[in-house]
Amino acid sequence: MALDYLDFDYSEDEEGTGTWDAMACVKAERVPALAAEIEQLLRWAQQSFAGRQGAVDDGFDWDYDLQAQDDDGASLPAGFDAASGRLQLAAAAPGRTTVNLSISGSQQFGDALREAFELDN
């Protein structure tokens, strides 16, 4: 599954936990496509690593942080409902919507993520 909007930067800590950070900035008409891409990725993680989301430092395999804002830096509603597999992402009325997604994971999660979404380190 290739990604069109999310371009991840990768880093790794001394314990081997990987972190993928992406930021996307789109006009209102592109927000549904961006939301669908984020939803696809988070749904994959929920299904592939079911019951294993939580703080990696606490022994879980993966976790994420999702934030959205408008051009003025005001927060916009953004959230993923794991039960339904649906993402809620509000578009900025005028201007652009900026989304920041950070995913952290174990080596096993990272290997699967890279393979599923054709990511490079």
Cα distances (Å, whole numbers) of residue 117 to 41, 75, 92: 8, 28, 27
What pLDDT score does 93 carry?
A: 85
- In this model, does residue 8 exceed pLDDT 90? yes
Computed over every residue of the chain, the mean pLDDT equals 94
Q: What is the model's pTM?
A: 0.92
- Tell me which residue of 111, 112, 89 sits closest to 99, measured CA to CA: 89
The separation between the first and the last C-alpha atoms of the chain, rounded to the nearest angstrom, is 16
- Tell me which residue of 1, 4, 20, 26 sits closest to 89, measured CA to CA: 26
Other C-beta atoms within 10 Å of 37: how many?
Answer: 22
Q: Half-sphere exposure (CA, 13 Å, Cβ side) for 91?
A: 14
- Biggest CA–CA distance in the chain, Å, is 43
pLDDT tens track for 46-93: 999 999 999 998 999 999 999 999 999 999 999 999 999 999 999 998
What pLDDT score does 121 carry?
A: 62
